[in-house]
Structure 1
Amino acid sequence: MKTSIVSIAFALLFSTASFAQKAPAQNGYSITIDMQKTYSGKMYLSLYQGTYSKTAVIDSFVVSGSEATIKFDQPKRILGGIYQLSYQGDIKPDKNDKINIAVDNGAILHFTLIGPKLGALEIASSLNADYLYLQRVANDPASKKEKLQTLQKKYSTSIIALWATLELKKIASDELTANANKVQYRNNYFSNFNLQDKRLQILPNIYSALNDYMTILPVVDSNYQSNVDVLLKGMDCNTRNYTFYLDWIFKNIIYYQQKKLEKTYNYVYNRYLNSEDCKKADSTLYARITNELNRVVNTPIGSIIPSFKMSDSADNYYTIDSLKLNAPYSFIAFFDPDCPHCQEIMPKVSAFFAAANFKDSIQKIAFLNAPYDSAQWHSFIVKSKLEHWLNVKAYQNDTEYMIDLKLTGNPNFYLIDNTGKILLKSADGEMIKSVINKTGQN
């Protein structure tokens, strides 16, 4: 068994920071799973990273034979979190064959499992027994709310109480009436939270709770700016979790780019990030947002994309002004084959368009935003499955387009219509579908 720390976020797990919880007899955790009637395969222990859709494996255990005892041990102090167990065996499990467990510092957990299906996971200890039961009745709203309240009160110092409180907040938001004082509700949303509690960063529902908070009031510049002011009140760049919230806020503004929140992006940047203290606190975040600012503010949603020239590998000449007329929409991806994020995301973008039913309504353009290297360019096209896209590069090495489009890194994405209007600056599949459905040209 080998523990692998695959993300810098996992440094949070082994923090010595204290919180309102009785000191355990030991640090870390010891998780045992007695499996019976199983198949050869592998059990994974993963940590959530702010959302249910994003996990990273931190440990795994190879299972062989009809019975096995799985052990996950961590001797170092942890903050506590919601972990995911998943199992992959010779007989392929259901796609959703996974389950969550709550792990506090010092936890000693002994589960039993008959067969490879994790829905049958059992434990005698009350905390995770209650949590496992809640996951099995999650489709019953009334029962779910009651069980969440029980978890919140019964295990008030555990990570499960923090998770349950965020879940209850979202339920309360759904139950708001038309006559509710939403400003007051927004102001008090996090009033019973310690927003500096580092455990919040690794909960699977913190992103959705933050988004719930940001959408209590209509998403417009004035409301969003007030939301940020309330959330970050009393914090500065040296406050624990401050840059975590800022990073999420900037990403969320981009997510709602259709709402034209360029002024808000600029407001948050200048009021909460643009200082020497913040630059020192998180130089990577500062550099990324500073670079992104120009593109957000100077090529806003609804503006016309600047004219630029390009050519393909056969030196055929194009302009975006002529290409945009070929289809109702054009999706343009700027990439660098050496960019790790490009290597990760471009195959996913290609797969999305291959599976989406856009017919001929979207023209797909992949633009080499890097020094020309024929072999490297061709290799990237093949690996990313971009052979059916229009693959182009800068015309005669003219990089003026980078200045006009404010491109300071890779990748960059634009969805435009046949007038050249910028509709989206993202490769998010659901957002692309939403824009296409909204404008109705598909």
Structure 2
Amino acid sequence: MDSIKNSIKIGVLFFVISSCFAQKKQSNQSGTLQGYEITINTQNILNETLQLSLQYGTAKKKLVTDSIVVKNSNQKVVFKQSKKIVGAIYRLGLKSNPNNYIELALDSGSTIQVVILSANTQTWTVTKNQLNIDFLAYQRVPKPEGLLLRNELINKYPKTALHLYLWAENKIDAPKPPDVKAQELAYAAFFDEVAPTEKRLAFLPNINKLLYKFVTTVPISNENYIKHVDKLISGLDCKMQNYVIFIKYLAANISFFERYNLEEAYNHLFEKYIKENRCKVFTDAEMNKFSNEYETNKKVPLNSLFPDVTFARKDSTAVTIQEIYSKNDFTLLTFFSPTCQHCIDKMPEISKFMANVKEKYPLKKTGWITVLNDTDETKWIEFLEKNQLERVAINLKSMDPTKAYQHQLNTYSNPSYFLLDQQGKVVLKSFNNKAILELINQ
């Protein structure tokens, strides 16, 4: 899921995890433990930084909740949080090798002992806390045996963060029901055991896969996706981390599935949940992006006929877009500015892709139109020459100094895209390699 790239700010996590980082201590303190205490006996990891972290949310953000440099060859380290936590799956590893770690399931009140004999995490053991002894064993068994152990642990440790994590793994691995009726039943029961309001969902390392499984349990359609949006978000306080995770996932995922023409679902998400931006979930830049896409949806809907707009070639010869798209099976229309950094970065990629399409699909007539979307023709000509665009595209400019087409098409931002079929129907409004190839292959 490439297009799924929206970031989630680390700061919003603190109100549920803690108001401060866990304390590093060399001795235990008395009193009832509300958070967790992890005692680690280390050997042979001199000058290594030991980290306790969370990987959470659909953007896979990493939050290091505690760390310490091991300065002795035989040192005891204690990671301790005295405040109540939301149960989650943490990672314990070395900063020098971030992809090598063991996972620990922490709930409020967890007391754990770990022995580290070397930098190789395969030698690390949990010696106190049966839940995590079992969890570490689960992490190290092959998948067939792991599935059996997973179900044993689900039954053995109800109401724990581990139970929730393994429940999600079962949902993710469940085969898709064979027929529509069975799919609808599976969808209706998806969150029966765990409601979308469960705070710990936001901190699952597998939440992205879980949400993807949820939205693909039934066929992708506007009607179904609107149900997904309301089922996940309706009733959530926008201050909840779940709200942030879910709404950003849904917005990104609609774009990922744009080949299914989910414009109606996008409009529903924007109008009902994004437009007011309560709690400031989205940045100004993100809101501008969402608003712009919404306005484009309204002005040039998918499956509508592209307006009859006239532009001019470099020599000022007039040409209509219709004259060009009517000669091709598909025509990619790109509005850009030669001073837009994203356009500068993107144009070589588009050029290479369109050339490859022509070579790979010689029986399909494909065309590419670029339109100068600002007023500096000198830089435009330099850009065309530098990128050799006249070899691969029809390059046009506006003859109207007021650029009325920008209002008509909502092409104020750069770059803006439309993919048109031979009849001029708008079949895509982005440069999405996968979606374009699927349309060509239909």
TM-score, length basis structure 2: 0.66
3-state secondary structure, aligned to 2:11: helix
Aligned length: 411
1:422 paired with 2:429, answer: no
Give the deviation of 1:166 after TM superposition: 1.6
Q: Gaps (5+ residues) in structure 2?
A: 1-5, 19-30
Partner of 1:189: 190
1:222 paired with 2:223, answer: yes
Partner of 2:248: 247
Give the deviation of 1:286 after TM superposition: 5.8
Partner of 2:204: 203
Q: 1:434 aligns with which of 430, 435, 438?
A: 438
Paired residues for 1:325-364 under 5 Å: 328-334=329-335, 342=342, 346=346, 353=353, 359=359, 361=361, 363=367
Contact 2:177/2:186, CA 8 A, preserved across alignment:
no
Q: Partners in 2 of 1:434 and 1:50 — Cα distance?
A: 30
Give the deviation of 1:11 after TM superposition: 2.0
Q: Partners in 2 of 1:337 and 1:68 — Cα distance?
A: 60
Q: Partners in 2 of 1:279 and 1:10 — Cα distance?
A: 19
Q: Partners in 2 of 1:345 and 1:137 — Cα distance?
A: 45
3-state secondary structure, aligned to 1:416: strand
Contact 1:349/1:427, CA 8 A, preserved across alignment:
no
Could you say if the C-alpha distance between residues 283 and 232 of structure 1 is closer, same or farther in structure 2, counting changes exceeding 3 Å?
Answer: closer
1:69-99 deviation line (CA, Å, top 9, x unaligned): 999979796655446789898xxx9xx9656
Give the deviation of 1:169 after TM superposition: 1.9
Q: 1:171 aligns with which of 167, 173, 181?
A: 173
Give the deviation of 1:161 after TM superposition: 2.8
Q: Gaps (5+ residues) in structure 1?
A: 1-5
1:217-255 deviation line (CA, Å, top 9, x unaligned): 333333333344444454465666335433333333333
1:373-418 deviation line (CA, Å, top 9, x unaligned): 9669979998x99998659575355533322322354554433345
Partner of 1:146: 148
3-state secondary structure, aligned to 1:193: coil
AA aligned opposite 2:346: M
Could you say if the C-alpha distance between residues 301 and 105 of structure 1 is closer, same or farther in structure 2, counting changes exceeding 3 Å?
Answer: same
Partner of 1:3: none
Give the deviation of 1:42 after TM superposition: 9.8
Larger radius of gyration: 2
Contact 1:61/1:70, CA 8 A, preserved across alignment:
no
Q: Partners in 1 of 2:360 and 2:405 — Cα distance?
A: 27
Contact 2:50/2:67, CA 8 A, preserved across alignment:
yes
1:123 paired with 2:125, answer: yes
1:143-202 deviation line (CA, Å, top 9, x unaligned): 343233234344445433322222212334x26354855444323311222423444234
Q: Partners in 2 of 1:400 and 1:70 — Cα distance?
A: 70
Contact 2:338/2:379, CA 8 A, preserved across alignment:
no
Could you say if the C-alpha distance between residues 352 and 43 of structure 1 is closer, same or farther in structure 2, counting changes exceeding 3 Å?
Answer: farther
- RMSD between superposed Cα atoms in Å: 5.6
Q: Partners in 1 of 2:146 and 2:409 — Cα distance?
A: 48
3-state secondary structure, aligned to 2:418: strand
Partner of 2:22: none
Contact 2:176/2:217, CA 8 A, preserved across alignment:
no
Could you say if the C-alpha distance between residues 279 and 403 of structure 1 is closer, same or farther in structure 2, counting changes exceeding 3 Å?
Answer: farther
Could you say if the C-alpha distance between residues 414 and 262 of structure 1 is closer, same or farther in structure 2, counting changes exceeding 3 Å?
Answer: same
Q: Partners in 2 of 1:179 and 1:263 — Cα distance?
A: 22
Could you say if the C-alpha distance between residues 429 and 58 of structure 1 is closer, same or farther in structure 2, counting changes exceeding 3 Å?
Answer: farther
3-state secondary structure, aligned to 1:395: coil
TM-score, length basis structure 1: 0.66
Partner of 1:101: 103
Percent identical residues: 23
Give the deviation of 1:425 after TM superposition: 2.7
AA aligned opposite 1:291: N
Q: Partners in 2 of 1:299 and 1:29 — Cα distance?
A: 57
Q: Partners in 1 of 2:14 and 2:181 — Cα distance?
A: 42
3-state secondary structure, aligned to 1:414: strand
Q: Partners in 1 of 2:156 and 2:367 — Cα distance?
A: 56
Contact 2:334/2:369, CA 8 A, preserved across alignment:
yes
3-state secondary structure, aligned to 2:359: coil
Q: Partners in 2 of 1:424 and 1:235 — Cα distance?
A: 32
Contact 2:107/2:160, CA 8 A, preserved across alignment:
no
1:395 paired with 2:398, answer: yes
Contact 2:8/2:61, CA 8 A, preserved across alignment:
no
Q: Partners in 2 of 1:423 and 1:304 — Cα distance?
A: 9
3-state secondary structure, aligned to 2:9: helix
Q: Partners in 2 of 1:46 and 1:379 — Cα distance?
A: 46
Partner of 1:303: 304
AA aligned opposite 1:50: G
Contact 1:262/1:297, CA 8 A, preserved across alignment:
no
1:50 paired with 2:57, answer: yes
Could you say if the C-alpha distance between residues 218 and 11 of structure 1 is closer, same or farther in structure 2, counting changes exceeding 3 Å?
Answer: same
Could you say if the C-alpha distance between residues 241 and 326 of structure 1 is closer, same or farther in structure 2, counting changes exceeding 3 Å?
Answer: same
Contact 1:238/1:281, CA 8 A, preserved across alignment:
no
Could you say if the C-alpha distance between residues 268 and 26 of structure 1 is closer, same or farther in structure 2, counting changes exceeding 3 Å?
Answer: closer
Partner of 2:164: 162
Contact 1:303/1:421, CA 8 A, preserved across alignment:
yes
Q: Partners in 2 of 1:272 and 1:390 — Cα distance?
A: 39
Q: Partners in 2 of 1:293 and 1:10 — Cα distance?
A: 28
Contact 2:91/2:101, CA 8 A, preserved across alignment:
yes
1:11 paired with 2:14, answer: no
Q: Partners in 1 of 2:49 and 2:322 — Cα distance?
A: 53
Q: Partners in 2 of 1:115 and 1:385 — Cα distance?
A: 52
Q: Partners in 1 of 2:45 and 2:117 — Cα distance?
A: 9
AA aligned opposite 1:225: I
3-state secondary structure, aligned to 2:419: strand
